[in-house]
Amino acid sequence: MVAHADTRVVHRGGSKINFRAPVITQDSRFLICVSGECIKVFSTSTEECIHHLQGHKELVTGLVLNPSNHLQVFSCSEDGTIRLWDFTDGILIRVTLLRILSMHVSAKGDVFLVMPVKRNKKEKFGLVSLNLPPSVEQHVMVKGHTIVFQSVSTDPKCIAFGQGGEYVASVKDNVLHVYFLNKKTFYRFALGTSGEMAARNAFTCVACHPKDDCIATGHGDGKIRLWRNFNQEKEYTFSTVHWHHSGVNALCFTPEGTNLLSGGLESVLVQWRYGQEGQKDFLPRLGSSIKEIVVSPDGSLFCTSHTDNKITVIKNCTKVSAVIQGLVHGDGVKTALMVDPRTKALVLNGKPGHLQFYSLQRDQQLYNLDIVQQEYINQSNLDQFEVVKAALDSRGSWLATVEQRSAKEVEISLKLWAFDEHTQSFVLNTTISAPHDGPISEICFSPSSQNSTTLVSVSLDGHFKAWQLTQPDPSDDEEASWSCDFVGDYHSLEPKCCCFSADGSLLAVSFKEVVTVWSPASWDLLTTLSQPPGAIQDLCFGRLSCSKYLLGATDKNLCCWNLLTCSLEWSTALDVSLLLADPLSENVAAFCGAEKTTDLFVFRPSEPRPHFSQQALCTGRVTRAVFAPRDEPLDGCEESSQWLNRSQLYFLTHNMELLTFLTKPEEERLMALSKQVPTIDDSVAMTPFYLLLGKHRKRVPCNDEADDSRLWGESWNFGVPNLAPGNHVMSSCVSSMCLLRDEEQPTEVEMESEKEEEDSEEEGASVPPRPEHESSDTGAKLGPVLTKAEHRELRGVKKLDYSWIRGLVTSNPVVNTTKQMVKTPKQRVKTPKPMAKTPKPMVKTPKPMVKTTKPMVETTNP
Amino acid sequence: MASFKPTRIQVYPKLGEKVTQDTLYWKNYKAPVQIKEFGAITSIDFSPLAPHTYAVTASTRVHIYGPFSQEPVKTFTRFKDTAYSGRFRSDGQLLVAGCEDSAVRLFDVSGRVAIRMFKGHTKAVHVADFTSHGYQILTGSDDYTCKLWDIPNSAELTSYKEHTDYIRCGITSKLNRDLFFTGSYDHTLKLFDARVDKSVMNMDHGQPVESLLLYPSEGLLVSAGGRYVKVWDLLKGGQPLVSLKNHHKTVTSLCLGSNGQRLLSASLDRHVKVYSTTNYKVVHNFDYAASILSLGLAPDDESIVVGMTNGILSIKHKRTPEDSKGAVQQKRQPAYRIFVKGKNYVPKQEDYLVSKPVRQYLAKYDKLLRKFNVSKALDEAMEQWTRLRKSEIPMAVIKELDRRGTLKNALAGRDEKELCQLLSFVIMNLVDTRFTATLTTMAEMLLDIYQSTVGMSSLVDRQLLRLQELLDKETEYQQELMEVLGMLDVLFASAHPRKEVTLPGRDVCLCSIVVHLPILPCGYL
């Protein structure tokens, strides 16, 4: 096997943003949260991701504001470093080398870390106090540290600092420890530790009152205890309040200490009045169970992080003002990974009973589709309806989902959703309750491009059924709905998987060891293929020139049949866990489970040698993967990465990490872009629109407002923002912005003659375009003259970071136009107008714009 | 914060007939008026002139009813024996009727005594009709002959003896004075032309012909006989166009409605079927209490008159808009104006529209479910069931409770009355296949919870016994169904040529079953 140095497996989106509690900045404008190996800064008002703070090599495990400088944030990571970031600029300040699991900072600015402490050859976790040396260097090595607690829980919720950092409280299992840092005294309070009581009384979280000597602890049975007088071993007191029916997951005092917030599995945020605990307010139905609660330093914003990888920002205790949603992992992905042909979004099951549409380009959830349409009951040990299968047809106009609830009897229903152009979302068309007697193992749409698509569902009850859209009688005023067209079986064997050929003329259904090939037109059994031993686990047809091949994976073998001769072409011993055909090329990817790792082979069914192979791709079996078509094919010509030219391969590991392959040129380009760090304006969040318009306005203060607002309007008119493909909006913005930049450039040159320019502008605003005194050839070149390479770069760039926009802004690519512009200062104001009117054609090619400007010049010329 | 998602009430496909325009049209009749006659009603004929009185021939009388009268406005009783086929002339002045005593009598509608009597037939005359110009009478008799009579001098003009069995129906052309059709028990229909001395067209119906009908355009002829209704294309020389077999007993009467858009057929199977004359599909169906012998439809479908073998005349009048309006006015709330207050304000151009947040309206049980008041929610749903008899609502709530895992809590702690209500709900809906799965769980839970109280209340015990009875009946029924299914499987298996080789042992077993299978009667399925 060849090692491929130029193709690398990278994490691509979908990291957990709820792993640790987020941090709200002093002014409540930003929300900082961990996201895998990097840190993300979001705006609390627009939900927009403003920065990616990259630098850690491993999982980021802690995030704390620097008490001495509220514009800085500490982060710690499993790679053993603490980094201090200036989050407004996104600049890395300092690195300290240690091994860390989580971190805390007391109000006095001392840094405490949870890190493994070796004691009696047993690895335990200890709380360690650390004095950061007052150094100005970028890189600092810290050696001296003192252990405060020998044994603490790794969960940062279990440690809290109270009353200006006077004491630290730590809970573990059934014991609460309090350590007074000044007096260096240590108290231990234990709750009933025997039998059933132990499990119920176990501490889950702790919070300290900021002004008062009071510690609040949450317990496994839903009780909250408020401890007082804990500076004495004997005469301590506690009071108990109880609302949560299951464990309290998070506790938090508001900054003034007037309220205590608690949350748990019920997904209800409970607000207790401190001092009068009988009074409480509720904020119910926050989506899923609450993991963390954070209050902004001024107390105006609450922020809850949830188990479904979501952060909710709550304003004024009552209103959800923003929701930052990452890729929902849940307990596992039950549906196959799919790519929505319309939005190019990844489709998979998300929240319980929902299907999520996740934009890979923007690393952001586009929207959730409620499949089950039932009130979700937050209760453990309850059989919930779950979306287990989903399929999209080739044009994205139909979506089929299967929901299942396995209580005493399996309840299944098959739903078919039609895409509604008007509302830009899927609308329920048909619900088929109990489509099969047993669980459905696979569903797939026929790829035929005509209006009539067929859905095939394969079930463990021994049948496969074909469903078709039936047009109702024209006399009835009912809508078209789906109904069963054919029920097939084969020797009452259990079918496992099904697959349509690329043109939809053949359907292959596997029954144990046998593959049956059916004609969907007549529902005749055409042929049967089998290669015992071993039941078929996966099936797929070859594409394009290899469409005569049918690939089948059994437990131990990968077989390839030639459908023209109905004979076995080749077979090889491989333990294939997933077979996947690229819809845009002949390539087939096979994920093979080795010992504990997964190998990947990419090959063409017609060629014996694999194009690409990588061993030990990741640990665990890969069972979900998808080929996402690229917007623009890469022109990489290296043989080993050619298979990535047309589409990109995404796959999910067993611990739900979304990984993809990145080729070297792609990676270099992304790296180059991410190096340019943008500065942030104090008033406005850094968004593409800001970059486009804010700068524009600042540079040209006399530019009339109407022009601006129209541009805004045009930009927003693209449609529902969460559904318009992000890259389209982006590239249109970018190209229009580049145009503006091109024409703005001369203003700096002409600053001396500002008065004159103002005059001309007023004229421009009041009268229609005056005849210009240029030759038509200069006018023709006025439009954007982006080279092809630049344009491709613009579009190819994924929106990982907005910093690249700035990169483009600062570098002025077109020199010759600038020169011409110097000659013709009056056109500066006018030219944006036609462009602002037609932002859409600009997205596609820059040429039409040249055309639109051309006639204007021509008419004025005589 | 997401809002509460209300319980989804499952919409089940409606069983039975679909509601179409036709069903709405034909259901728009008032409750029938029923009048008892002295014997089987053999003929109903509407006067072609307004006010469209109709002649009803029953026993030895011909009654003439007014359009809205419940009693005969005129009676002709001068028959020696059973009268047949009382028919109006096209001007509505004269009425002719045949009789069992072979005489044909002609009446003036305003008079009482027969003004002409035509004697010449030797057996009962079942058919009598006026020709289109109104001066001649066609009669058909059980002596196999049909005759034309001249009214002014009551003389027999022509006699045709071509049929070989009783002539029981006949019709004259409304466009040509010389043409008429007869249908006979010898299974044939014949077209006669008075100008020639024999039939000019001959059609074979296949069954004894009971009734004939001509389309207004007279291009198509409809005949009824046996279980069949057949349509013949006269312009193509009597070619059969359609054969309809929608009744399961002899079709006795035919009639056209809705200006020739619909064809109605009445039968001894107690049904009147309405066909569309464009595609000859049944669009509606009426049920009556007894076998129907005669059927009449007033112009513009104002009323449907049906005569039955037990002598009951049933008249259905069309519901007028005034009738329905009265009902609506009664329902209208007096405070209607208050409800629409301000709602019909049309915003002016300069008005700035502030949209109100849409308020989510929840059903009572949903409100209770939102508060986790499971028992109360179930009570509320049950109340709706008793009020509306919509099993879907309590079913949806029960399903929701089951999904939440709190159904047992909701069922527990009931008193005698509530428990009886729950049990009666289970009993009523348990055998409905759509609900069986859920109700079985519910019944099991009920039995679990109230096991200890059995025998303490007679009411509850009675319900439990009813439940047991129901289950026994249902298992028996299912068993029977399974048996039928098995029989059918065997029949199908033997009907299909077997392609694949199955296990030899199973084959033998199949053969032995085939041998012992009794022949299933058709009605069994």
- Chain A contact for B503 (CB, 8 A cutoff): no
For residues A10-18, give the mean pLDDT. Answer: 76
A382 → closest Cβ in B1, B8, B405? B405
Q: Are B382 and B394 in contact (CB under 8 A)?
A: yes
Token couple for A165: 């950092």
| Interatomic CA distance for residues B383 and B349, integer angstroms | 48
Residue of A nearest to B19 (CA): A476
Q: What separation, in Å, do the N-terminal and C-terminal C-alpha atoms of chain B show?
A: 57
- pLDDT value at residue A402: 92
Q: Which amino acid is at B6?
A: P
| Interatomic CA distance for residues B352 and A154, integer angstroms | 57
Q: Which of A375, A376, A383, A490 to mutate to probe the B interface, most B CBs <10 Å?
A: A375
Q: Which residues of A touch B2 (CB under 8 A)?
A: 285, 287
| Interatomic CA distance for residues A527 and A550, integer angstroms | 12
The CA–CA distances, whole Å, from A459 to A230, A441, A466, A493, B85 equal: 62, 5, 11, 11, 66
Token couple for B185: 């028990």
Percentage with pLDDT > 90 across chain A: 8
Q: Do A283 and B1 touch (CB under 8 A)?
A: yes
pLDDT tens for each residue of B348-375 = 888 888 877 888 888 899 999 988 899 9
For residues B451-466, give the mean pLDDT. Answer: 90
Does A336 or B518 have the greater pLDDT score? A336
| Interatomic CA distance for residues A713 and A707, integer angstroms | 10
10 Å CB burial of residue A862 (0-12, 13-18, 19+) is exposed
| Interatomic CA distance for residues A180 and A187, integer angstroms | 9
Residue A209 C-alpha from the chain's centroid: 35
- pLDDT value at residue A19: 85
The CA–CA distances, whole Å, from A260 to A257, A277, B348 equal: 7, 9, 50
Burial B402-418 (b: 16+ CB within 10 A, else e): bbbebbbbbbeebeeee
- The minimum CA-CA distance between A257 and chain B, rounded to whole Å, is 25
- pLDDT value at residue A718: 40
- pLDDT value at residue A833: 38
- pLDDT value at residue A790: 53
For residues A408-428, give the mean pLDDT. Answer: 88
Q: Do B8 and A373 touch (CB under 8 A)?
A: yes
| Interatomic CA distance for residues B27 and B44, integer angstroms | 22
Judge whether residue A816 has pLDDT over 50: no
- pLDDT value at residue B224: 93
Token couple for A255: 């900054």
Q: Please name the helix (run of DSSP H) or strand (run of DSSP E) that holds residue B391, with its range, or none.
A: none
Residue of A nearest to B5 (CA): A375
B487 band by pLDDT with thresholds 50, 70 and 90: very high
For residues A637-661, give the mean pLDDT. Answer: 79
In three-state form (DSSP H/G/I as H, E/B as E, the rest C), the secondary structure along A179-221 is: EECCCCEEEEEECCCCHHHHHHHCEEEEEECCCCCCEEEEECC
- Own/partner contacts of A37-45, CB < 8 Å, gap of 24 or more, are A37/A11, A37/A77, A39/A63, A39/A73, A39/A75, A39/A85, A39/A87, A41/A87, A41/A90, A42/A311, A42/A324, A43/A685, A44/A301, A44/A303, A44/A313, A44/A321, A44/A322, A45/A321, A45/A322, A45/A685
pLDDT tens for each residue of A607-636 = 878 888 888 777 777 888 888 888 777 776
pLDDT tens for each residue of A544-562 = 888 888 988 888 888 888 8
Strands B33-36, B41-46: pairing kind: unpaired
Q: Which residues of B touch A376 (CB under 8 A)?
A: 5
Token couple for B271: 């049904």
Peptide bond into A533 cis (omega under 30): yes
Q: Do A476 and B18 touch (CB under 8 A)?
A: yes
Q: Which residues of B touch A285 (CB under 8 A)?
A: 1-4
Does A786 or B522 have the greater pLDDT score? A786
- Chain B contact for A682 (CB, 8 A cutoff): no
A374 → closest Cβ in B3, B5, B21? B5
For residues B466-486, give the mean pLDDT. Answer: 94
- pLDDT value at residue A144: 64
Return the bridge partners of A390, or none.
A401
Of B505, B479, B507, which Cα lies nearest the Cα of B493?
B507
Q: Do B1 and A284 touch (CB under 8 A)?
A: yes
Of A569, A585, A531, which Cα lies nearest the Cα of A553?
A531
Q: Which amino acid is at B420?
A: C
Q: Which residues of A touch B395 (CB under 8 A)?
A: none
Find the angle CA(A519)-CA(A520)-CA(A525) to the nearest 5 degrees.
Answer: 35
Signed CA dihedral, A286, A287, A288, A292: sign only = negative
Strands A159-162, B72-76: pairing kind: unpaired
Q: How many CB atoms lie within 10 A of CB A767?
A: 8
Percentage with pLDDT > 70 across chain A: 70
- Chain B contact for A789 (CB, 8 A cutoff): no
| Interatomic CA distance for residues A400 and A391, integer angstroms | 5
- pLDDT value at residue B352: 84
Q: Are B171 and B180 in contact (CB under 8 A)?
A: yes
Residue of B nearest to A410 (CA): B437
- pLDDT value at residue B154: 83
Q: Which of A4-13, A100-109, A723-732 has the lowest mean pLDDT?
A: A723-732
Average pLDDT, chain A: 74
Q: Are A456 and A465 in contact (CB under 8 A)?
A: yes
Q: Are A31 and A18 in contact (CB under 8 A)?
A: no
Longest dimension (CA), chain B: 97
Q: Are B263 and B277 in contact (CB under 8 A)?
A: yes
| Interatomic CA distance for residues A241 and A229, integer angstroms | 18
Residue of A nearest to B501 (CA): A491
- Residue at token pair 């057996």: B123
Give the number of A-B residue pairs with CB atoms closer than 8 Å. Answer: 48
Q: Can you state the angle between helices B416-429 and B374-388, rounded to 10 degrees?
A: 60
Does A105 or B149 have the greater pLDDT score? B149
Judge whether residue A765 has pLDDT over 50: no
Judge whether residue A774 has pLDDT over 60: no
The torsion defined by the Cα of A200, A201, A205 and A208, in degrees rounded to 10, comes to 150
Does A507 or A850 have the greater pLDDT score? A507
Token couple for A108: 């006095």
The torsion defined by the Cα of B64, B65, B70 and B74, in degrees rounded to 10, comes to -40
The A residues from 446 to 485 touching B (CB cutoff 8 Å) are 475-476
Q: Which residues of A touch B20 (CB under 8 A)?
A: 475-476
Judge whether residue A766 has pLDDT over 80: no
Q: Which of A279-293, A312-326, A785-799, B218-232 has the lowest mean pLDDT?
A: A785-799
For residues B183-187, give the mean pLDDT. Answer: 92
Q: Which residues of A touch B369 (CB under 8 A)?
A: 375
- pLDDT value at residue A136: 61
B4 → closest Cβ in A320, A375, A379? A375
- Chain A contact for B404 (CB, 8 A cutoff): yes
Judge whether residue A724 has pLDDT over 70: no
Return the bridge partners of A365, or none.
A358
Q: Do A408 and B441 touch (CB under 8 A)?
A: yes
Radius of gyration of chain A (CA): 31
- pLDDT value at residue A152: 78
Q: Which amino acid is at A817?
A: T
Burial B132-151 (b: 16+ CB within 10 A, else e): beeebbbbbbbbbbbbbbeb
- Chain A contact for B400 (CB, 8 A cutoff): yes
pLDDT tens for each residue of A444-476 = 998 876 667 889 999 998 899 999 888 776 666
- The minimum CA-CA distance between A409 and chain B, rounded to whole Å, is 9
- Chain B contact for A283 (CB, 8 A cutoff): yes
Q: Which of A92-106, A195-209, B72-86 has the lowest mean pLDDT?
A: A92-106
Does A132 or B113 have the greater pLDDT score? B113
The torsion defined by the Cα of A847, A848, A854 and A856, in degrees rounded to 10, comes to -150
Q: Which of A585-594, B33-42, B177-186 has the lowest mean pLDDT?
A: A585-594
Q: Please name the helix (run of DSSP H) or strand (run of DSSP E) that holds residue B4, with its range, or none.
A: none
The A residues from 302 to 331 touching B (CB cutoff 8 Å) are 319-320
Token couple for B142: 């059980």
- pLDDT value at residue A706: 41
Token couple for A351: 């929240």
Token couple for B232: 């013949």
The CA–CA distances, whole Å, from B33 to A104, A540, B347 equal: 91, 71, 53
φ, ψ dihedrals at B234, nearest 5°:
-75, -30
